[in-house]
Amino acid sequence: MDEQSARKLIVEIGKLMYDKGYVTSSDGNISFRLEENVILATPTQVSKGRMSEDMMSLTDLDGNPLNDRRVSSEIKMHLLIYKMRPDINAVCHAHTPHGTAFAAAGLSIDAPILSEVILTLGCVPLTAYGTPSTSELTDSLKPYVEHHNALLLENHGVVAYGKDLWQAFDRLETLEHTAKIAILAKILGGANDLPKDAIEKLINIREKAGYLTEAARCQACGYLEHTDVRCSLDAESVNNGNSNGAKISFTREELIDLLNQAVSLQN
Ligand SMILES: [Zn+2]
């Protein structure tokens, strides 16, 4: 996407976020990776409902300014995600009321209650509180960025990201919609969880359809532990002359078992 189209789309998504009540005042921020090391982002202290295309800031991946528009102080969170996830080109951060209610209550969005959410988003974990705009916040996100596409920021808000601006916004919207349904179901006496075999079928479908990759099997997600779905880690085989550099893979349990055996052999 060219720069002018990206500026236009950030203004449009900013309006949507404001109109849907995902942000108030100058909350939230949106960014887009224009080139490998050039990020277009919303400026500091501007309502996302009243932006114009000429307001946007440009920075490099280390946050150094590339134009004279001061970028949001929360850009560090966006830059961490771009650095850790080459497949991600857009990030939306907001204080959506229902998602943020989970984050304020110290809860993840990880109950297996909605088939569509297992298919398209997966689990949304709670990341530990860190002061906004500091490395405290980015440090607490690090363990989760690789396998998740949306995160809850404890006592703060939510962040969602995707391959383009619409996918990032759609994931934000799915997160907020799920949080709202979970709260309403709780008022009605509590949601019923999907059974194990239904979850496994949905995970197979989402991988075949390409909604989520196998990386999502490694999400921090309570219900995955009750299924037979495993996070398999690719391990480069030892190049001992016989392997020809072929890749082998282990399940997490097999790898832990092998490491334990190696440790006990050393002792
Ligand atoms: Zn925020």
pLDDT, tens only, 56-75: 999 999 999 999 999 998 99
- Tens-place pLDDT, residues 98-148: 999 999 999 999 999 999 999 999 999 999 999 988 999 999 999 999 999
Residue 175 CA to residue 123 CA, distance in Å, equals: 9
Quote the ligand 1 centre to 156 CA distance (angstroms).
6
**Cβ neighbours for 255, distance < 8 A, ≥ 6 positions apart:** 233, 235
Quote the ligand 1 centre to 93 CA distance (angstroms).
7
Average pLDDT, rounded, for the chain:
89
- Judge whether 110 and 223 are in contact, CB under 8 Å: yes
- Judge whether 152 and 108 are in contact, CB under 8 Å: yes
Give the number of other Cβ atoms within 10 Å of residue 249's Cβ.
11
Residue 203 CA to residue 221 CA, distance in Å, equals: 13
Q: What is the DSSP letter of 236?
A: E
Quote the ligand 1 centre to 41 CA distance (angstroms).
14
Quote the ligand 1 centre to 259 CA distance (angstroms).
41
Give the number of other Cβ atoms within 10 Å of residue 172's Cβ.
30
In sequence order, the β-bridge partners of residue 90 are: 32, 162
Cα atoms in the Cβ-side hemisphere of radius 13 Å centred on 40 = 23
Reported as a pLDDT band with limits 50, 70 and 90, residue 168 is very high
